[in-house]
């Protein structure tokens, strides 16, 4: 059989494998020098106790005639959707209908699958550096052409760097879809309400869809900053929003998320007819998807009880404090750290013109600290480096001290 050439031609996704290889090699040669891992994007703290309890209770109920649940509704159980509408949207003045919310097993799943709704020749734009899923999913569908000299031929990239304060300059060329991730992975930066409004206005004027990844919205600590793109006027006509319990409630191993597709959002057929993306996604999920398990959705619902909210706030505050420790330790260095306030990521400029990989090796061998080279997130990440706050306070403090000391030695 003939294969999908686009998947076959994908460059190797070697970033985390290569990091693991270098760390393994170093540890084997230096068993007496313990390494602190500050590179992973996975949470480390356990589930909130009340959430774990709800998860277990629902699983046990599945073993009884009264509590058993078979296939659930494709879009998710109404009990969870109602809670999402109330806590995530109505509380911030955003009104959505229940059938505009779709429960899924991950923001990765949905940000990767949403491209099934786009034309094969749709022009895709991403901010750069970028969470790689948006690029890879479109590349696999053949939309980005070939990968040459470290770039996808047909991908439009909007650099977000220290030099432009991480505010993307909007493209002058026609773009069908723009992926935006705020708070951003990997840079940890956010955009103000006004900056986001300018992007939404541009999208409306240019008939561009925004895929808004809000996986880190729970880390936003300034109430003035938008947590949902639908807080921005006109956004419901141009934006899909993907959210997740992974980073807000430690669900990376549990798997639960949601995507909002407003009914006001329309795409265009070749003949000019406008078509509801909500209807298309509903149709697509009906054919390809059987939903998220009942115990998982019960666990997600438990994050909205008073007890659950307090426990989750404590977990997020813990990661925020870690990010603060990193920022405090590095703020007056030449690394110009950004992020770390509304996100669990701190983004550094590597010193002395080092590449991200050179700085990786330098920190590993002199400070025994592991981070992520910016090159792993696209060309715009070259010469940068990501540290994460998903560690213990003790390790974070020690890592921050070691990085600072290593920088002082340069
Ligand atoms: N979106 C961004 C920007 C992420 O960084 C991640 C995980 O690191 C995800 C989505 C994945 O979310 P989920 O665990 O819900 O699939």
Cα 215 to ligand 1 centroid, rounded to whole Å? 6
Whether residue 323 sits in one domain with residue 285: no
pLDDT value of residue 93: 96
Write the residue with the smallest CA distance to atom 11 of ligand 1. 108
Q: Which atom of ligand 1 is nearest to the CA of 110?
A: 16
H or E stretch covering 31: none
Cα 16 to ligand 1 centroid, rounded to whole Å? 15
Structural domain including 365 reads 5-46+307-408
Whether residue 108 sits in one domain with residue 28: no
Whether residue 348 sits in one domain with residue 272: no
Whether residue 265 sits in one domain with residue 205: yes
Cα 116 to ligand 1 centroid, rounded to whole Å? 19
Write the residue with the smallest CA distance to atom 8 of ligand 1. 41
Number of domains observed in the structure of the chain = 2
Q: Which atom of ligand 1 is nearest to the CA of 108?
A: 16
Cα 185 to ligand 1 centroid, rounded to whole Å? 9
* Top mutation candidate among 111, 133, 136, 215 for ligand 1, by most atoms within 8 Å of CB: 215
Cα 405 to ligand 1 centroid, rounded to whole Å? 32
Cα 213 to ligand 1 centroid, rounded to whole Å? 8
Cα 218 to ligand 1 centroid, rounded to whole Å? 13
Coil, strand, or helix at residue 262? coil
Whether residue 175 sits in one domain with residue 146: yes
Q: What is the CATH number of the domain that holds 13?
A: 3.90.1150.10
Whether residue 102 sits in one domain with residue 185: yes
DSSP letters along 374-385, please? GGGG-GGGTTEE
Write the residue with the smallest CA distance to atom 2 of ligand 1. 215
Cα 153 to ligand 1 centroid, rounded to whole Å? 25
Q: Which atom of ligand 1 is nearest to the CA of 246?
A: 14
From first to last of the 410 residues of the chain, give the pLDDT tens digit.
Answer: 999 999 999 988 778 889 999 999 999 999 998 999 999 889 999 999 999 999 999 999 999 999 999 999 999 999 999 999 999 999 999 999 999 999 999 999 999 999 999 999 999 999 999 999 999 999 999 999 999 988 999 999 999 999 999 999 999 999 999 999 999 999 999 999 999 999 999 999 999 999 999 999 999 999 999 999 999 999 999 999 999 999 999 999 999 999 999 999 999 999 999 999 999 999 999 999 999 999 999 999 999 999 999 999 999 999 999 999 999 999 999 899 999 999 999 999 999 999 999 999 999 999 999 999 999 999 999 999 999 999 999 999 999 999 999 999 88
- Cα 92 to the center of its chain, rounded Å: 21
* Top mutation candidate among 247, 248, 257 for ligand 1, by most atoms within 8 Å of CB: 247
Coil, strand, or helix at residue 122? coil
pLDDT value of residue 108: 96
Whether residue 156 sits in one domain with residue 228: yes
Last residue of a domain, one of 305, 325, 350: 305
Q: How many CA atoms lie within 13 A of 359 on its CB side?
A: 25
Write the residue with the smallest CA distance to atom 1 of ligand 1. 215
Coil, strand, or helix at residue 196? helix
Which residues, 6+ apart, have CB-to-CB distance to 254 below 8 Å?
Answer: 47, 55, 245, 296, 299
Q: Contact, 144 vs 153, CB < 8 A?
A: yes
Q: What is the CATH number of the domain that holds 295?
A: 3.40.640.10
pLDDT value of residue 410: 87
Distance (Å, rounded) from C-alpha 406 to C-alpha 163? 25
Whether residue 130 sits in one domain with residue 243: yes
pLDDT value of residue 14: 75
* Top mutation candidate among 15, 188, 212, 246 for ligand 1, by most atoms within 8 Å of CB: 246
Coil, strand, or helix at residue 62? coil
**What is the pTM assigned to this prediction?**
0.97
Last residue of a domain, one of 287, 305, 323: 305
Whether residue 109 sits in one domain with residue 95: yes
Cβ < 6 Å from ligand 1: which residues?
A: 41, 106-108, 131, 181, 185, 213, 215, 244, 246, 252, 257
Cα 248 to ligand 1 centroid, rounded to whole Å? 11
Q: Contact, 92 vs 227, CB < 8 A?
A: yes
Last residue of a domain, one of 305, 320, 350: 305
Whether residue 158 sits in one domain with residue 187: yes
Whether residue 337 sits in one domain with residue 296: no
Whether residue 217 sits in one domain with residue 298: yes
- Kindly report each contact of residues 91-95 with a partner whose C-beta sits within 8 Å and lies 24 or more positions away, as own/partner: 92/227, 92/228, 92/231, 93/231, 94/228, 94/230, 94/231
């Amino acid at each position: 059989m003939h294969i999908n050439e686009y998947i076959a031609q994908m460059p190797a996704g070697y970033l985390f494998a290569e990091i693991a290889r270098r760390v393994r090699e170093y540890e084997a040669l230096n068993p007496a020098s313990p390494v602190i891992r500050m590179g992973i994007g996975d949470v480390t703290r356990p589930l909130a106790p009340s959430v774990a309890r709800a998860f277990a209770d629902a699983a046990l109920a599945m073993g009884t005639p009264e509590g058993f649940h078979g296939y659930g509704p494709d879009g998710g159980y109404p009990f969870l959707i109602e809670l999402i509408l109330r806590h995530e949207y109505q509380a911030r003045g955003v009104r959505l209908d229940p059938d505009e919310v779709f429960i899924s097993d991950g923001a990765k799943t949905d940000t990767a699958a949403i491209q099934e709704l786009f034309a094969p020749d749709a022009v895709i734009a991403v901010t750069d550096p970028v969470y790689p899923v948006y690029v890879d999913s479109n590349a696999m569908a053949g939309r980005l052409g070939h990968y040459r000299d470290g770039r996808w031929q047909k991908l439009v990239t909007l650099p977000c760097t220290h030099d432009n304060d991480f505010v993307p300059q909007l493209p002058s060329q026609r773009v069908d879809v723009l992926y935006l991730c705020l708070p951003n992975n990997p840079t940890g930066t956010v955009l103000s309400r006004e900056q986001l409004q300018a992007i939404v206005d541009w999208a409306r004027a240019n008939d561009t869809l925004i895929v808004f990844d809000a996986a880190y919205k729970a880390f936003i600590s300034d109430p003035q900053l938008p947590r949902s793109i639908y807080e921005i006027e006109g956004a419901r006509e141009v934006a899909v929003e993907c959210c997740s319990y992974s980073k807000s409630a430690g669900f990376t191993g549990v798997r639960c998320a949601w995507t909002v597709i407003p009914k006001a959002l329309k795409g265009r057929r070749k003949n000019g007819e406008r078509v509801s993306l909500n209807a298309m996604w509903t149709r697509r999920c009906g054919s390809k998807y059987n939903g998220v398990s009942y115990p998982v959705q019960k666990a997600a619902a438990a994050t909205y009880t008073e007890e659950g909210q307090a426990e989750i706030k404590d977990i997020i505050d813990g990661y925020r404090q870690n990010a603060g420790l990193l920022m405090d330790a590095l703020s007056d260095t030449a690394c110009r750290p950004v992020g770390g306030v509304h996100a669990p990521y701190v983004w550094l400029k590597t010193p002395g013109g080092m590449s991200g990989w050179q700085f990786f090796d330098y920190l590993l061998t002199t400070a025994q600290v592991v981070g992520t080279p910016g090159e792993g997130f696209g060309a715009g990440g070259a010469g940068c480096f990501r540290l994460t706050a998903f560690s213990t306070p003790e390790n974070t403090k020690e890592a921050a001290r070691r990085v600072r000391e290593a920088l002082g030695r340069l």
